[in-house]
Amino acid sequence: MLVFALAVATTSPSTASRTLRIRGADISFTLQEEAINQPVSDNGREAPVEQILKDNGANFVRLRLWVNPLRGTSDLNSALTLARRAQAAGLRLLVDFHYSDTWADRTSQQPPAAWQGMSYGELLSTVESYTRESVAAFAKQGTPADIVQIGNEVTRGMLWPYGQVTLPDDENWVGLAGLINAGANGARAGNPGRHPLIMVHSDTGGDRDASIHFYDQLQRHGVGFDLIGLTYYPFWNGSLADLERNLRDLAYRFGKDIIIAETAYPWTLSSSGGAPSVVSTMQALPDAAQYPPTPHGQAKFFAALNRVLREVPDGRGAGYFIWEPGWLPGVGADAAKGNTHNNLTLFDWQGQGLPALDAFKPTGTDG
246 and 240 Cβ atoms separated by less than 8 Å: no
CB count within 10 Å of CB 171 equals 15
Known active-site residue 153: yes
Burial of 296 (C-beta count, 10 Å sphere; 0-12/13-18/19+): middle
Q: Which of 33, 128, 262, 324 is catalytic?
A: 262
Q: CA separation (Å) from 165 to 96, 145, 153, 157, 174?
A: 20, 28, 12, 5, 9
| Cis peptide preceding 161, ω within 30 of 0 | yes
Q: Point out the catalytic residue in the list 128, 153, 244, 324.
A: 153
> Is 122 among the catalytic positions?
no
Among all residues, which ones are annotated catalytic? 153, 262
